[in-house]
Structure 1
Amino acid sequence: MDITPPAINPIHPDLQRADGTSVYRPIGSHTYTTHWLLAAENRLLAAARRSVIPPVGRATFARVAGLHQGPMDTGQRALASSFALSEKLLLAGLGPAGAGKTTAMRLVASAVDAAGGRLIPLAPSARAAEVLGTDLQRRAHTMPSWLHQRARASTGSEPASPGFQLGPGDVVLVDEAGMAGTLLLDEILADAAAAGAVVRLLGDPHQLAAVEAGGALRLIARAGGTVELDQLHRFRVDGEAEASLVLRDGEDRRSAFAWYRDKGRIVAGTYDAMCDAVFTAWSKDQDRASPR
């Protein structure tokens, strides 16, 4: 179905192409979608409003949070408590790279474990799943592989592995959710809801989008079903955190580029020269990290 917005003003004949479109409308700018995709988006939005039994009780979370090791700022603790205690079937947590989203998820994982449930980490890609599993110290899956194994078990084609079981009190965590396709998220949501589990999305809608039809994380964020982090921890150079946020939000990119230029972070050269420079820098970092 065509969902291209109609022209606001009448088009003068001298400003029309042969097909009747305005010369000011870029060629190929028509937008299409399907009824299935719109229905999936509506189900995700409805899930962000639907109340269920939270995966962790307040007393359990307070006890686990009191024993949690490592520094956490107010935003990280708010994100962790929301993911564990929220009654919403679907809840999203947003934050730029370096905001400490994964650190907050370690507390969520501990709280879910203490409550008798399981936190199941999922990601759109194998690389992202590997990093997530390492950070949370538990097996992570790609979204398609998780759904595939769940489907095989449900049809009886193979015994249900304990690692792929899902039940009440479990939390399905989708990391890098901005890169997740909407239809995949819809499948994961339906599977979790049928099992009595909840879904938590983690990501940044300002980063890379999904290869397939996506945008669900941004849609949910606009609807208000999110918890957001805005304090960065990754950077140590004065001004770098602020510059990265400006660059991310796109409000005043000139000031951000000026910061990177003044710090010598912007270099120019031929393709071959830049490739050589990147390789040389990488090689030095590898040598520095290798044990002597």
Structure 2
Amino acid sequence: MNRPAKHAARPLADLMHDWSKRAEQVIPGRVASLISDALFQDQRLLVGADLDPGTIDAYGATVVLALQLKRSTWTRWNILAEAARQTRLLRTKDVDARLNVLSAIAKSAERHSISLTAPELVPVPVQRRDGESVYTVHNGQIYTSPAVLGAESVLLDLAADVNGPVLSGYHTSGDLGEDKAAVLRRVASSGQRIETVVGPAGTGKTTLLAELKTAWNAGFGEGSVVALAPSAAAAEVLADSLDLPADNVGKWIHESIGIGAEQRQTWIAESERAAQLAINAGRRRRAQRFYTAAAAARTERDRWRLRRNQLVIVDEASMVGTMELACLAREADRAGAKLLLVGDDSQLGAVDTGGAFRLLVNETNAAKLTEIWRFQNTWERQASLDLRAGNREVFDVYDDHGRLHHGPAEDIENTAYAAWQADLTLGRTSLLIAGDNATVARLNARAHVDRVQTREVEPQGVELHDGTSAGLGDTIVTRLNARRLLTNHRNFVRNGATWTILRRWPDGSLTVRGANDETVTLPRTTCARGSSWATPPQPTAPRAKPSTPHTSSSPTT
């Protein structure tokens, strides 16, 4: 089923009138006055003149700070939307007063931003009523901030610096492809502080990194390679592939230069001060305990610090934000280490401010892996590259090989679901993908009902945030990292991890089993309705290898 058609746009005033009439049918009397009395009986409503210019300027700066954490560029529309979010708790006298406040904040935010739109060199005689040229997009002027430009400048400058660590005397092994050998020789000998390696899916990036890790540790000693990834789940995969500890970028920044580092430094200072006071008071054992605690904290601090000649590998670097990459680059430069960014600039970008990886790829002539190894069918290797490049003619290739199927949305959904069920019956891992959340929820509910009928799962369960339920035998996916919630293998619960429910407790908590027979009990507060911590029973649940994907999509997907 496709998304229903949107209603025709109507003026806000007309909608407000209709809503008021519907409310009057339920609550006789003046609805607006009742709501106003209930919300603002002890509060004077604001008008634009009530806000001091300094307050407006503070809101403008806050808007820019919020925008630069989400995107690298923005327009006035983005500024107005963020200003509305930042001032949502301000109660104004009427709509005009709020619009005036938002307009003033937007002008302040524009002053805190840097315009990237070229000025008009020649006046255009055809203009709109407001004086704008008819050839410009209304409110379409593009802005950025000094912080974003500064972060990009740091990355480009360090990428041009060739005084970084060099792995002397390195020789590649004979079983590597020519493209991998060339990339490894370049990374080992270039001396670039920041180096980028681009590899489409299936080019053997993991194999390359494993070879590089071995060579770098041999040249500079064990522990000379630091592995990072954009998420905890990706870090776990990277750690397994390279056989060394790995963490996500956000955690590393938090512990090395962020709030975690600040709190640890405060703890060290307070512990050493307390130890000195204990010595002065003649309490030597107490002083020893404080010094031991301070030493442990210093050891933890050193664990998160980079050192000279280390190689910092960031896998899936296109998904890491610009500000985070700049933080890593500064710390690597300060320590005398090398930052290696590996990924594919044609795949998913960062959720927050992104584009830095692609910028580095284009501006620094990145090393590239070109030979595809993953596919068994030879034709799929070139087809995957054409699909990555956006070549529409490649769909004919997939169609010729029977990979595309079409039909009414309901039939396609049923076919994909039946294929998923057949895969599970054969003991395969099966991935069922849908184009929108509504279809995902419907497939989840359908899978739950079918598995209840076959007695694979219990009919009752804990109600989740979207109204579906999960009980004994169901599969769920955790959606947040919980580093203090440890499994029986002493690993923390990761975002994106898949679990099978083993037991549902009376208080609503769930005991679940994950990969490698790890078990943990998820507290009730993480599973109950209203929490997005755990998602519903998943048709995408892994069962056993090999893996088969099935996709149900609409023309708008």
Q: TM-score, normalised by structure 1?
A: 0.85
CA pair 262-54 structure 1, distance change in 2 beyond 3 A: same
* CA–CA separation in structure 2 for the residues paired with 1:196 and 1:25: 48
**Amino acid of the structure 2 residue aligned with 1:91:** E
The residue aligned with 1:147 is 253
- CA root-mean-square deviation: 2.5
SS for the counterpart of 1:159 is: helix
**Alpha carbons of 1:125 and 1:272: their partners in 2 closer, same or farther (altered >3 Å)?**
farther
Matches within 5 A, 1:39-58: 39-58=150-169
Which letter does structure 2 place at the counterpart of 1:37?
A: V
Counterpart position of 2:355: 215
Structure 1: runs of 5 or more not aligned: none
Residues 52, 21 of structure 1: alpha-carbon distance in 2 compared, 3 angstrom cutoff: same
Partner of residue 216, structure 2: 112
Q: Residue by residue, what CA displacement relative to the aligned partner does 1:34-82 show, whole Å, maximum 9, x if unpaired?
A: 0011011011001111022425222xx22xx34x8xx421111122222
Letter matched to residue 86 of structure 1: S
What residue number does 2:324 align with? Answer: 184
CA distance change for structure 1 residues 253 and 127 in 2, over 3 Å: closer, same or farther? same
Is 1:35 the counterpart of 2:113? The answer is no
Task: Please say if residues 153 and 159 of structure 1, whose CA atoms lie closer than 8 Å, have aligned partners that are also in contact.
Answer: no
- For this pair of structures, how many residues does the alignment match? 280
CA distance in 2, matches of 1:150, 1:3: 34
Residue identity (%): 34
Unpaired runs of 5+ residues, structure 2, are 1-113, 268-296, 430-543, 546-557
Which residue identity does 1:104 align to in structure 2?
A: L
RCO comparison, higher one (Cα < 8 Å, 6+): 1
Q: CA deviation at 1:160?
A: 3.4
Q: Normalising by structure 2, report the TM-score.
A: 0.47
Contact 1:178 1:215 in 2 (8 A): yes
In terms of fraction of residues, the more strand-rich structure is: 2
Is the radius of gyration larger for structure 1 or structure 2? 2
What is aligned with 1:123? 229
Structure 2 residue aligned with 1:101: 205
Matches within 5 A, 1:1-292: 1-6=114-119, 11-13=124-126, 16-23=127-134, 25-26=136-137, 29-58=140-169, 61-62=170-171, 65-66=172-173, 71-115=175-219, 116=221, 117-151=223-257, 152-153=260-261, 156=265, 157=267, 158-161=297-300, 163-250=303-390, 252-254=391-393, 256-271=394-409, 273-285=411-423, 287-288=427-428, 290=544
Cα separation, partners in 2 of 1:122 and 1:19, compared to 1, 3 Å: farther
Q: Distance in 2 between matches of 1:190 and 1:257?
A: 44
CA distance in 2, matches of 1:122, 1:86: 21
CA distance in 1, matches of 2:229, 2:130: 44
Residue 269 to residue 106, structure 1, CA distance change in 2 (3 Å): same
Structure 1, 129-138 or 85-94: larger mean CA deviation: 129-138
- Could you tell me how far 1:242 is from its partner in structure 2? 1.1
Q: What amino acid does structure 2 have at the position aligned with 1:105?
A: L
Moved more, 110-119 or 183-192: 110-119
Contact 1:55 1:171 in 2 (8 A): no
Residue 486 of structure 2 is matched in structure 1 by: none
